[in-house]
Amino acid sequence: MASDRSSDAYVHGYSAREDIRLLDQATTLAELLHHDTRSLTAATSLAILLYAGHNALATLTSVAGGHWIDRVGPRVVFAAAAGLYVAAYGLFVVSWHAWPPLLVAFALAGGGIGLAETAESTLVAQLLPDQLRGSGFGMLGAVQAAGDFAASAAVGLLWSVLSPAVGFAYAAAWMAAACGVGWASRSAAST
């Protein structure tokens, strides 16, 4: 009887590798927050709340980003998202042991993802004819997943071999480049 290898396939967020990566990140965050008089349980709870806040802000920002896109177009909003990521990753470079700067960093990252995903989808919808939109969104999903995997591998390697700060600095550099490309493409599109 042949074994079913479909369970071994990588799906972002649903594999043993991803579980290990997420556990490493959660452990690092809990260690940052677990100091002085804060217990490990309190630090872990705070880490969960920070991430939940990130997701809540991403949800709200998606709606606001859609309205903004209606006024200025997706390229400007995408560049702004990249700028939010640069600021978030810049804050993550510092080993904060207090929750307020981490809250700001998570909020900036949540805003970045809310704006970026909305802008990407809008751009695909605007650029492709009706009969190719399904394929276009499929390709967008594939490119995003491949980018997530490559970024996770690169940042994870830098995080593990050098330090979390180096991993976040690397991610911030790529977001700064994306911000520049977004602004440059906006200028080229308006001429």
Q: What SS3 string covers 119-185?
A: HHHHHHHHHCCHHHHHHHHHHHHHHHHHHHHHHHHHHHHHHHHCCHHHHHHHHHHHHHHHHHHHHHH
pTM value is 0.66
pLDDT score of 97 more than 80:
no
Number of domains in the chain: 1
Instruction: Give a yes or no: residue 23 inside a domain.
Output: no
- Cα separation, 96 vs 108, in Å, equals 16
Give 188 or 52, the one with higher predicted confidence.
52
Q: How far apart are CA 89 and CA 100, in angstroms?
A: 15
b (16+ CB within 10 A) / e for 59-94: eebbeebbebbeeebbbbbbbbbbbbbbbbbbbbbe
Residue 10 within a domain: no
The reported pLDDT for the residue numbered 191 is: 46
Asked whether residue 2 is assigned to any structural domain, the reply reads no
Q: Indicate if the pLDDT at residue 70 is higher than 90.
A: yes
Q: What is the pLDDT of residues 147-178, one digit of tens each?
A: 878 888 888 888 888 888 888 888 888 888 87
Does residue 160 belong to any structural domain of this protein? yes
Q: Is residue 96 part of a domain?
A: yes
Residue 5 lies in a domain: no
Domain assignment present for 88: yes
**Residue with more model confidence, 111 or 26:** 111
Q: What is the CATH number of the domain that holds 157?
A: 1.20.1250.20
d(CA 10, CA 16): 9
Q: What is the pLDDT of residue 35?
A: 57
**Does some domain include residue 24?**
no
Q: Which domain holds residue 182?
A: 39-190
